[in-house]
Amino acid sequence: MTGIERIKNAFTKDHPAFMPYSVLGYPDRAGGLATIKILVEAGADLLELGVPFSDPLADGPTIQVATQKSLENGTTVKDCLAQVRELRTQGIETPALLMGYINPILAYGLEEFAADAAAVGVDGLIVPDLPPEEAGELEAACNDHGLALVYLLAPTSTPERIKLAAEKSRGFIYLVSLTGVTGARNKLPPDLAEFVARVRVQTNTPLAVGFGIGNGEQARAVGQLADGVIVGSALVKRAAESPEKVRELAVELRAAL
């Protein structure tokens, strides 16, 4: 089964898919792996694993601090792949996508990166600073190795951009709930339902919403609109506190769905 198929299957359950985000190498290598295991135990249907980068344009303060700490810990792209391999050898089977920026992937080599990612058990990629118009080479490499390349849409996306992303995304489409960077908010955007509906009419591909979701109540509300719920900053903040705090929030989020 390819990564694309494994990701698609995660959206066929009787609840919206729960997709937590975790920074590889944070708060340290062992702690990061332990966090991921906790998220799986709490019921994650998909995993979004952050590859640290020095200029994370889409990320807010919480994730910026975490990725910087991960870099200071010596986390490299090769080490991120090694960590995924380690998780797979330890029995973690949950579909996993790497969320990373294009520069480190280019430095690694697009074809080599796709091949190595698939070999260690990565199922897909999320590259927030790579627009679909410029993604042909990486897209081809992902297709060659059965990896899902997932594109992002924002509330400001035009009908033309929605159509293009819908045609090109594999596995699901990542809907950014608001304009701006990642980070938990006190309330959800008032136009979220309208945004999801605008995309829904153009595709049958599952829609997963991220950015700004920080508690069970918000996750439940988003799950009533979308096929998947992505939670990042709130969990990363808990990872800086303790494993128990991560587990507590992850269980709350999964139960809400």
pLDDT tens for 17-42 read 999 999 999 999 999 999 999 999 99
Mean pLDDT of the region 54-69: 82
Catalytic site residue from 14, 28, 41, 48: 48
Looking at residue 183, its pLDDT comes to 41
Is pLDDT of 182 > 50?
Answer: no
Looking at residue 106, its pLDDT comes to 97
Q: How many CB atoms lie within 10 A of CB 229?
A: 27
Task: Give the span between the Cα atoms of 249 and 215, in whole angstroms.
Answer: 7
Looking at residue 55, its pLDDT comes to 77
Query: Minimal CA–CA distance to 124: which of 39, 229, 221, 9?
Result: 9
The enclosing domain of 27 has a CATH number of 3.20.20.70
Looking at residue 181, its pLDDT comes to 43
Q: How many CB atoms lie within 10 A of CB 213?
A: 24
Mean pLDDT of the region 191-219: 94
Q: How many domains does the chain have?
A: 1
Looking at residue 45, its pLDDT comes to 98
Confidence of residue 179 (pLDDT cuts 50, 70, 90): low
Looking at residue 187, its pLDDT comes to 63
Q: pLDDT tens digits, residue range 46-55?
A: 999 999 998 7
Q: Is 212 left (phi over 0), alpha (psi -120 to 50) or beta?
A: left
Looking at residue 188, its pLDDT comes to 76
Q: Verify whether residue 45 is a known catalytic residue.
A: no
Mean pLDDT of the region 202-230: 95
Mean pLDDT of the region 137-145: 97
Sign of the C-alpha dihedral, residues 152, 130, 5, 40?
Answer: negative
Is pLDDT of 56 > 90?
Answer: no
- The H or E element that residue 141 is part of is helix 136-144
Domain with 108, as residue range(s), is 3-256
Catalytic site residue from 5, 41, 55, 59: 59
Percent pLDDT > 90 in the chain is 88
Q: Verify whether residue 48 is a known catalytic residue.
A: yes
Task: Give the span between the Cα atoms of 248 and 251, in whole angstroms.
Answer: 5
Looking at residue 148, its pLDDT comes to 98
Looking at residue 184, its pLDDT comes to 46
